[in-house]
Amino acid sequence: MRIAYLDTIAGISGDMTLGALVSAGVSLDELVADLRELGLSGYEVVARHLERSGIVATKLDVMISEAPRYHRHLKHINEIIEKADLSGKVKERAKKIFWEVAVAEAKVHNSTVDTIHFHEVGALDSLVDIVGTAICLEKLGIEQVYSSPVRVGSGGFVNTEHGKIPVPTPATMEILKGYPTVLTDIPFELTTPTGAAIIKALSAGVLTTERMKIESIGYGAGTREMEEAPNLLRVLVGELESQYAWDEIICVETNIDDMNPEIHPYVLDRLLAAGAFDAFLTPVIMKKGRSGILLSALVERSKLDTILSVLFHETSTLGVRILPIERRKLPRTQKEVTTSLGTVKVKCVLHEGQERLIPEYEECRRIAVEKNLPLMEVYRIIERELAR
HSE (CB half, 13 Å, CA atoms) of 335? 14
CB 369 within 8 A of CB 382: no
DSSP 3-state percent helix, strand, coil across the chain (nearest 5): 35, 35, 30
**What are the beta bridge partners of residue 338?**
343
155 CB-side CA count, 13 A: 6
Q: State residue 121's pLDDT score.
A: 41
What is the pLDDT of the chain when averaged over all its residues? 89
Task: List, for residues 71-109, the tens digit of each pLDDT value.
Answer: 788 888 999 999 999 999 999 999 999 999 999 988 888
Angstrom distance (rounded) from CA 234 to CA 386: 49
So what's the pLDDT on residue 67?
Answer: 56
Whether the per-residue pLDDT at 209 is higher than 60: the answer is no
Query: How do residues 256-273 score in pLDDT, each as one tens digit?
Result: 999 999 999 999 999 999
The pLDDT of residue 285 is 94
328 compared with 242, residue with greater pLDDT: 328
d(CA 198, CA 217): 18
Q: Is the full-model pTM beyond 0.75?
A: no
Domains contained in the chain, CATH given: 2-241 (no CATH), 245-329 (3.30.70.1380), 332-387 (no CATH)
Give SS3 for 166: strand
Chain segment 226-241, per-residue pLDDT in tens: 889 999 999 999 988 7
190 and 151 Cβ atoms separated by less than 8 Å: yes
pLDDT above 80 (res 388): no
β-sheet bridge partners, residue 250 = 299, 324
Q: Measuring CA to CA, which residue among 304, 303, 301, 302 is closest to residue 249?
A: 301
- Residue scoring higher pLDDT (354 or 225): 225
Residue 386: HSE in the Cβ half-sphere, 13 Å Cα cutoff: 22
Indicate the residue type of 361: Y
> Between residues 76 and 67, which one has the greater pLDDT?
76
Tell me, what's the pLDDT at 120? 40
Average pLDDT over residues 340-345: 90
Between 358 and 67, whose confidence is greater?
358
* Residue 382 neighbours by CB under 8 Å, 6+ apart: 339, 341, 344, 346, 359, 364
Q: For 229, phi and psi rounded to 5 degrees? A: -165, 155
Whether the predicted pLDDT of 353 surpasses 80? no
pLDDT for residue 242: 66
The kind and range of the H/E element at 305 are helix 304-314
pLDDT digits 0-9 by tens, 215-226: 999 999 998 888
Tell how strand 117-118 and strand 72-73 pair up: antiparallel
Q: Rounded to an integer, what is the distance from CA 253 to the centroid of its chain?
A: 22
Q: What is the mean pLDDT of residues 107-120?
A: 77
pLDDT of 328: 80
| Strands (E) located in the chain | 2-7, 43-52, 55-64, 72-73, 117-118, 144-147, 150-152, 157-160, 163-166, 181-183, 203-206, 211-221, 232-241, 245-256, 278-285, 291-299, 321-329, 332-339, 342-351, 354-359
- DSSP characters over 53-104: TTEEEEEEEEEE-S-----EEHHHHHHHHHHSS--HHHHHHHHHHHHHHHHH
Give the model confidence (pLDDT) of 142-173 as tens digits: 999 999 999 998 887 877 766 788 888 899 99
Task: For 135-146, give one letter per residue: b (16+ CB within 10 A) or e.
Answer: bbbbbbebbbbb
114 pLDDT band (50/70/90 cuts)? confident
Q: What whole-number distance in Å separates Cα of residue 299 and Cα of residue 304?
A: 7
| More confidently predicted of 19 and 348 | 19
pLDDT on residue 198: 96
CA angle 155, 121, 58 (to 5 degrees): 70
For residues 252 and 294, the answer to whether their CB atoms sit within 8 Å is: no
- Diameter over CA atoms, the chain: 84
Q: Which residues contact 328 (CB under 8 A, 6 or more apart)?
A: 242, 244, 245, 246
Per-residue confidence (pLDDT) for residue 207, from 0 to 100: 77
Instruction: Please tell me the predicted confidence (pLDDT) of residue 164.
Output: 82
pLDDT: which is higher, 369 or 153: 369
* Pairing mode, strands 150-152 and 181-183: parallel
pLDDT digits (tens, 9 = 90+) for 119-144: 544 578 889 999 999 999 999 999 99
Question: What pairing do the DSSP bridges indicate for beta strands 321-329 and 117-118?
Answer: unpaired
